[in-house]
Chains A and B, each alone.
Chain A
């Protein structure tokens, strides 16, 4: 078992039994569910919208080279500098170099999962710069030195009292644990940072090929300020973010908000196509767009699982996943947790090291049903399992299936084994979950339903 798998198993076991944690997640997500369903119902045809959205992303991903070229042409025509990063190290180097060349000291950053993916903050801090997260949730977890708990709600796991304590310790300003007052503390602190920052870094939700623009979705206005005040703006995004046309956003913006946050549309949806243009009042003098591959092309090369690149990072599959809701976001120890993380992490970071995430699923399919771009998530989890078993077969698994195949194929053997099973099940409570129990790993936390006293065939014969 990989180290990541060992860590996952022990954290999952601990958190699944933590009732306080479960109650917290349940409360947060049930509020979301009510709003999400209310907004979905406003659509005239939600299923039709999913089909259209999936088709637009499929078109984009299957012609990624053409759309990326178009995207970059539009940006460059407005004076944007576009950079290409094959991997995380290159992306970090490019951004650190830009910041160094500007003699910058302070960087304000709005929420970007790609920045988490490449561990950008550590690289910038290591190079001697101060980086401040401006999204309230990200700001809180940055103060606490934690990773985001959820890709949309980073501080979902914290109670107001814990946040007040963090503010008291780190900011020496925590009037009460009233959410509004705490938010105003953050507003005051961060406003000062904005006024002093030399560089602003954002992520992007969409890359519009037709017009050469990045589209940034947020509610707080922190990305708007990040893109307005500093002299240099940098946007980091994955190459798969492309949508073909500007008008496609008419579909994607409300869908993202509906399943992502239970809003009809997010507070600010902003498209940036360049630095300050002649005649405009303000805006950065320089705009840099950094396009990140980091093994996305490896996923693109997998014809079966390519559609996982349709993902718009809404978090809907996390919110409905029974595993995520029990083990929580930190247990995964990946940038992208939940079902989508289980599908793509093995491609981005190595199949054998991360295959355990594809087993952290009941295969119920709630994720695929929730996905606004119709990614068949649970099928891809199965494909990862198949691929990992084919690449590195397990001796015990092979042995078990060798034994199972003749039993399942011969009526007499099947009958014998079920008879034995009935007897065994009667004696099993004596050793259940003890070290003597060969199925201990399974039976420790589960009860097997009793095997029926009669098979269907036996029952039928009694009726004749």
Chain B
């Protein structure tokens, strides 16, 4: 038996090792034969950045592209000048949508914003009570990046209050700084590698638009399981 903490009950460590060794033996035996000639994939003339959808070089172009993508995806995107405008925007959202309870996590922006909304706040940092979180109207999170190319929001279990906060409440509001906007997916992955190389969070998620399904006659319906609304508020960067 291997360490009982890591060994699955009902399966002895010996059995796991044997199964693993048998599969590796089959793989190595198979790979001893080189693939048939003529199975080349062709010349690699380009890099990933050169084949993916084009993104403008300037900040203004990237904001415009993110905004256009968000609109296509039926997400809401707004750029606000500074902190007071952000508070104002959120207060307006809270009033319109009739929020009663807000869930959020510890963060530079969220810590400053949450008290200003004068709503009961559920904090998830110490652990999530799913039933409590289910009763909240909105999940307010920060993010790691916004991706102009696809209109995606990049979150991780470390930057956005774990796993459930950004997907369980019916409305997900993302707070981002203007300097978090990146051009394309390759930039987003480079950012992840630079930020977390020492130890990755257990979950990394690219969220693109509100939850959606087309499973009934290929007709788009929002809010299949996750948020019906996704609002992205970007602070700063305005001339």
A contact set with B: CB distance below 8 Å? 27-28, 31-32, 42-46, 48-49, 51-52, 54-55, 58, 62-65, 68, 76, 78-79, 81, 83-86, 90, 94, 97-98, 100-101, 134-137, 140, 153-156, 158-160, 163, 179-180, 182-184, 186-187, 190-191, 194-195, 211, 213, 219-222, 224-225, 227-229, 239, 246-247, 249-251, 253-254, 261, 264-277, 279-283, 287-288, 291, 293, 297-298, 300-301, 303-304, 306-307, 374
Contact = CB atoms under 8 A, between A and B. Distances in A.
B204 A183 contact: no
Interface in B15-71: 16, 19-20, 22-24, 26-31, 33-36, 39, 41-48, 50-54, 69
Contacts of B163: 224, 227-228, 280-283
A401 to B, nearest CB: 25
B27 A68 contact: yes
B144 to A, nearest CB: 12
B130 A283 contact: no
Given A49-B52, A155-B215, A306-B35, A84 B16 contact: yes
A283 B208 contact: no
B202 interface: yes
What are the 5 A-B residue pairs with the smallest beta carbon separation, nearest first?
Answer: A221-B226, A281-B162, A97-B10, A101-B9, A228-B163
A183 B224 contact: yes
Contact of B127 (A49, A160, A281, A303): A281
Interface residues of B, number: 93
Contact of A153 (B52, B186, B218): B218
A225 B200 contact: no
A45 B20 CA distance: 40
A254 B128 CA distance: 32
A280 B157 contact: yes
Contacts of B51: 43-46, 48-49, 52, 251
Contacts of B225: 134, 187, 190-191, 220-222, 224-225
A186 B224 CA distance: 8
Nearest to A226: B225
B23 to A, nearest CB: 5
Contacts of A303: 33-36
Contacts of B161: 281
A306 B213 CA distance: 34
A239 B19 CA distance: 13
11 contacts: A43-B53, A97-B8, A97-B9, A100-B9, A101-B10, A163-B216, A225-B164, A228-B162, A273-B202, A276-B202, A297-B30
A251 B130 contact: no
A282 B134 contact: no
**Which of A45, A98, A270 counts the most B-chain CB atoms under 10 A from its CB?**
A270
Given A48-B45, A306-B35, A239 B211 contact: no
A142 to B, nearest CB: 12
Contacts of B192: 246
A265 B185 CA distance: 10
Nearest to B106: A281
B133 to A, nearest CB: 9
Residue in B199, B210, B217 with the greatest tally of chain A CB atoms within 10 Å: B217
B174 interface: no
B34 A280 contact: no
Contact of B209 (A31, A155, A267): A267
Per DSSP, chain B at the interface is loop
A280 B162 contact: yes
Contacts of A374: 41-42
Interface string B135-178: 00000000000000010100001100111111110000000000
Contacts of A90: 19
A291 B150 CA distance: 31
A221 B152 contact: no
B239 interface: no
B218 A28 contact: yes
B212 interface: yes
Given A136-B224, A183-B213, A225-B225, 13 more contacts: A44-B52, A49-B48, A101-B8, A183-B216, A191-B134, A247-B189, A249-B189, A253-B185, A270-B206, A281-B126, A282-B157, A297-B30, A306-B35
Contact of B8 (A48, A64, A94, A134): A94
B224 A220 contact: yes
B32 to A, nearest CB: 9
A304 B35 CA distance: 6
A155 B216 contact: yes
Contacts of A291: 23
Contacts of B50: 44-45, 48
Interface string B188-224: 1110110000011111111111111111111101011
Given A86-B19, A220-B212, A271 B203 contact: yes
A261 to B, nearest CB: 8
Contact of A98 (B9, B16, B34): B9
Contacts of B179: none
Contacts of B152: 265
Contacts of A27: 217-218
A239 B23 CA distance: 9
Contacts of A271: 203-205
